[in-house]
Structure 1
Amino acid sequence: MTRSLIFCACLLLSACASQPTLTTRTVNSGAERAPEQLAVVFEKADLALRIDPASRTIRGDATLTFQALSPLGRIVLDLDNHLPIDSVAVDGQLLPASAYSNPDGRLAITLPRQLAAGARVAVRVRYHGAPHVAKMAPWDGGFVWSSTPDGQPWIASAVQGEGCDLFWPCIDHPMGKAKLIDQHIAVPAPLVAAGAGIALGMDEADGWRTWHWRAKNPSTYGISVNVGPYKLLSDEYRSRFGNTIPLRFWHLPQSEAQARELMKEFALMLDFFESTLGPYPFGDEKMGVVETPHKGMEHQTINAYGNKYAKTMYGYDDLLQHEFAHEWFGNQVTNMDWDDMWLHEGLGSYMQPLYLQYLRGDQEYFSSLMKLRSTIVNKAAMVSGKPHVVEDVYDIKRGGPGQDIYVKGALVMHSLRALVGDDVFFRAVRKLVYGTEQPAPGAMTPRYATTREFIGFVNQASGRDLGWFFDVYLYQAELPELLAETADGQLKLRWKTKDDKPFPMPVDVRIGAAVQTVAMTAGSASISLPAGATWTLDPHSKLLRRAKHIEEFQEYEKAQKKKKAG
């Protein structure tokens, strides 16, 4: 998810200020699952939503099918308790109100009879109300009720931070995916509702249109609402793997010329990702993009795009490329816990320098990396090794690594690639994403992954134990520091790490015009330095390490901002 600042209208801010406060459980996506949630396989969700722009309310009708892994007396779901429940039924049997309760956002439903292991149950929840409104999507979750330049309704949802339970009953955890979800989004005609997966048609009656969508294994926050007076651009991409991928772009009518230009980037991005990683994971559904009133979000096969068609100095739309990277890192492979969120954001962010290297060459690659490097803050370790809710990771004030999961994560991947070489690096990444080093197109099952699993893939592909690399870069905040001094014709090098953790990272040194690689097996080494010779550490910028000049630059930037603020 991008974290760039976006405009939020005064009317929306006023509406946000008057809405009820979310419960602690609802606001914290990824909280520990209830035992009943661990005891089921979430097979299917059939979600019908009627969205009324005039009243800014929704009416929901969700039928959820589960298979029990062990005997079960209750079904437990997550749903914002500010959305009143109209009724609950189990396998068609309407339950009395005493059989369910939702005091804090965790909806507990007592089944009419105990469910045996292996048996299935269909739970239907009908509800309504005003869904939580995002103050500044996509940073905070909720609905965005906006309007197009000509005054038509323009509506979206973005719920990564707070979770799917802001507008539908779900299991609000990264591992809470349904195997299949059908969406039926009803909106006033002639509005369009663009959705995840494949289109199953549209019905129109009594001034309302109901758009039908079906998606396989969508991420919990990847189910989204995207409504507007959209026009559709369609094309196809012939993959290097032999399959044909539908390309779809829903845009505002006012944006058609810009949308046509942006769509030209779709094929380039697909070719980069497929040549670098492997087949597009959702080629049997679509590559979809929808123009939204918020900045953007990696909604599976229907990426939200609100970058206003901006391009960087590198000549591409960086937000579109970043969100598309999440089809691999986030949607195809999903972290088991938010503590492993850097797998989404670090690897996704590293795809941007790699894309620039693919498009333009080494200058743009290193330029992009340098911009990322200048923003690393090292306030907390990227991985704590214990379960987290999402804001524990994103919010530095709550002790999380914050932006480092993007920028530091990308630089760690750069250094890893330099250490192990392209072949090993990309084999390990493919294993993480697909579960195999030789993926083929077709119906792919998304994976769940952990940091430790990725480390195992790197070790396996490289044939050596690189735990020391990840222990220093991922499990502590402080960067390793490379100390150098000259004495008696020797250049003495030593890695300094917190708690003297082992760090035998090789170092390239240029002496005069020659470059040699120093093994640093014990974390230190000495090499001969001819009289009068010049020397440069890491001349090809392979190493992520402490840099005092960057720290001084960051302090200068802070001082300038403080001075400007008055």
Structure 2
Amino acid sequence: MRPALLPAALLLTALLTTAAAPLPKKGEPAITAQTQKSGGVRPAEQLALRFDSADLDFQVLPATQQLKGVATLRFTARAPVSRLLIDLDRNLPVSAISIDGVALPRGGWSNPDGQLVVTLPRPLGTGQSVTARLTYGGTPHVAVNAPWDDGTVWSKTPDGRTWFATTAEGYGCDLFWPCLDFPTGEPGVVTLHITVPKGLKAPSNGVLLGVDQLADGRSRWNWRVKNPNTYAIALNVGPYEEISGTYKSRYGNSFPMFYWYLPGEKAKAEALFAEFAPTLDFYESVVGPYPFGDEKVGVVKTPHKGMEHQTINAYGNAYAKAPEGFDWLFHHEFGHEWFGNQLTAGNWDDYWLHEGYESYMQPLYGLWREGDARYATMMDTQRRPIANKVPMVRGRVVTEEEVYEPSKGGPGQDIYYKGAWMLHTLRWLIGDKDWGDVTRLAVYGRTDPKPGNFRPRFGSTAEYEGFVRQVTGKDYRWFFDVYLRQAALPELVQTRTGNTLSLRWAVPGGGPFPMPLEVRIGDDLRRVTLPATLTVPADTHVVVDPSARILRRSPAIEAYQAWQAEQKAKK
């Protein structure tokens, strides 16, 4: 049940008494190390909870850049627990908590570092459930450079009206609502009630249940979303206008599409909206059914670059044009509905499943639209930034920053581009059909997905390797050992003496790497197994791996990267 809102007079008084306080700058108020951390090793008490549902009631207060909230959270114990450990930034202090409808005394909770500790009136046994209602609010952390640095983004439209958004992938959902801030902490269902000032709208996740017009001129937007990714809950507030339509899927179902854009952008918005249907058709034909057809396709213009918020993708690419003829950022974030929201890595260590797969989808879309030349051009662009400094996977539970931040030992952008190139090589190695079946197993848990026969799932690197083995009947551990668990790339060693060409792989660590290779000898294209010694007339032109099938070491790219670094250092 939703809490009563403050009467208009009391609300106005509260606003007037706080209006003189200075508004927070970017990076303020500061957050603790606990709040900044998302994922990683979690307390046993959190892992013992199944997050059944969350009812989140927000009041967005632009004049003071504050959020007020009431969260009603339901958990079921998988193992006995006597406390609830709920992640929540301490900049949003809790003023009241009730457990199963009974108010706790003031000393019944504490939040010294960003993890709220609630002592239960009675311990929970395995299978027992509890409902906690938290009243909280304050000044949420303002992002420095969203979405790379998370928090709230308070902006203005060109005509001076409020334009507000949240991002939370890096630091986590606890920046603005009480949650379990790790990938498998997804709630089963979330209901949102977002109250905003007069003249503003609040598009959000899932299905719109209705809009309440309040007596003081404000409106309350009510949404419901099933199984949302923990960082995918998003608040978006602005004077939005809307384009909508219906998509008729190749799978026989239909579902609504929406784009919320700012006034004055209609022509550009219509051009972007025209990309929705062909993008859907690509993903449905190459991967499988749109995962959230019982809710919606939603995109909203945001005052930050973009983010894969489930069924309400954030878009802030300024309607940029590109030679490939489509908006890569819209395409990338939308594709995360499959690789990120439908398939969610259960551990940040496996997030190449999100970013590697989704980065590969853009060249594949180029191939689907225009053919081999576009695909090759886009793959070449992705090859240049691959750094190979550390392995993409470490085989342990890690935080988001330990993956995305090279300064913290993470592979950084390699989970995007090296991941994409690894998938490119795997697709050639095992063939399109098997690669497609592996992909569908990873995304849906089955090779025959249809609307209604799957639900969002968690995946891992180990599971993915198992899917490759299951589909192909072969063990490709050697492949994943080289590309995921080692930093340096395999090197092709070529020796040509007279009429003899010798080819072999030099692999970091000296392990096996039975990767076949294409060789063009004159006009003859051969697929050979290495090591190989070929008889080639001395005057015959030879091109090894002419279609760039294999992700391998490139001295030319290493020299190019070194030159780039030198040029940057001179500036």
Judge same fold: TM > 0.5, yes or no.
Answer: yes
Answer yes or no: is the 8 Å Cα contact 1:428–1:461 preserved in 2.
yes
Match of 1:193 in 2: 202
Query: 1:457 matched to which residue of 2?
Result: 467
1:116 equivalent among 121, 125, 129 = 125
1:226-255 CA deviation, whole Å, 9 max, x = no partner? 000001111001000000021001110121
Contact persistence 2:498–2:537 (CA under 8 A): no
Aligned pairs for 1:241-280 within 5 A: 241-280=251-290
- Whether the aligned pair in 2 keeps the contact of 1:311 and 1:318 (CA below 8 Å) is no
Q: Secondary structure at the match of 1:222?
A: coil
- 1:489, distance to aligned residue in structure 2 (A): 2.0
Match in the other structure for 2:543: 536
Q: Does 1:72 align with 2:81?
A: yes
Look up the equivalent residue of 2:536 and give its one-letter code. L
Instruction: State how far apart, in whole Å, the 2-side matches of 1:393 and 1:254 are.
Output: 39
The answer as to 2:515 corresponding to 1:505 is: yes
SS in 2 for 1:175: helix
Q: Deviations over 1:7-48 (max 9, x none)?
A: xxxxxx994357232111110111322211111111100000
Q: Does residue 551 in structure 1 map to residue 561 in structure 2? A: no
SS of equivalent to 1:41: strand
Aligned partner of residue 482 in structure 1, secondary structure: strand
Q: Distance in 1 between matches of 2:475 and 2:385?
A: 30
The residue correspondences of 1:5-84 to structure 2 (distance < 5 A) are: 15-16=24-25, 19-84=28-93
SS at match of 2:439: helix
Query: Gapped runs of 5+ residues in structure 2?
Result: 1-21
Cα distance in 1, alignment partners of residues 227 and 176 from structure 2: 19
CA–CA distance in 2 between the matches of 1:301 and 1:395? 27
What residue number does 1:402 align with?
412
Residue identity in the other structure for 2:568: K
CA RMSD of aligned residues (A): 1.2
- For residues 428-478 of structure 1, the C-alpha deviation after alignment (integer angstroms, 9 at most, x for no partner) is 010000000000012742110101110110111111001100100011110
SS at match of 1:555: helix
Contact 2:25 2:142 in 1 (8 A): yes
Structure 1 counterpart SS, 2:353: helix
Residue deviations 1:267-313 (CA, integer Å, cap 9, x gap): 00000000001100001101100000000000000000000111211
Aligned to 1:366: 376
Selected match of 1:309 from 305, 319, 337: 319
The residue that corresponds to 2:185 in the other structure is 176
Cα distance in 2 for partners of 1:100, 1:339 equals 32
The within-5 A match list for 1:45-444 is 45-205=54-214, 206-442=216-452, 444=454
- Equivalent position of 1:493 in the other structure: 503
Match of 2:433, SS? helix
- 1:284–1:443 Cα contact (<8 Å) kept: no
Q: For 1:494, what is the secondary structure of its paired residue?
A: strand
- For the 8 Å contact 2:29–2:142, the answer to whether it is kept is no
User: Match for residue 484 of structure 1?
Assistant: 494
**Runs of 5+ consecutive residues of structure 1 not aligned to the other structure:** 1-12
Runs of 4+ in 1 over 4 A off after TM superposition: none
State the shift of 1:424 in Å. 0.5
Distance 1:469 1:60 in 2: 49
How far apart are the structure 1 equivalents of 2:308 and 2:494? 44
Give the counterpart letter for 2:139 in structure 1.
A
Deviation at 1:525, TM superposition (A): 1.7
Question: Do 1:20 and 1:82's aligned partners in 2 also have CA atoms closer than 8 Å?
Answer: yes
How far is the alpha carbon of 1:416 from its aligned partner? 0.3
Alignment partner of 2:185: what SS? coil
CA separation in 2, counterparts of 1:314 and 1:18?
36
Which position in structure 2 is the counterpart of 1:10? none
TM-score (normalised: structure 2): 0.95
Tell me if the contact between 2:519 and 2:527 (Cα under 8 Å) persists in the aligned partners: yes
Query: In the TM superposition, what is the alpha-carbon distance from 1:257 to its structure 2 partner?
Result: 1.2
* Whole-angstrom CA distance in 1 between matches of 2:453 and 2:164: 31
**Which whole-Å deviations, capped at 9, do the CAs of 1:355-401 have from their partners, x for residues lacking one?**
00011111110100000001101111111111110011111111110
Aligned sequence identity (%): 50
Instruction: Determine the C-alpha separation between the residues in 2 that align with 1:33 and 1:181.
Output: 22
Please say if residues 334 and 449 of structure 1, whose CA atoms lie closer than 8 Å, have aligned partners that are also in contact. yes
Task: Determine helix, strand or coil for the equivalent of 1:63.
Answer: strand
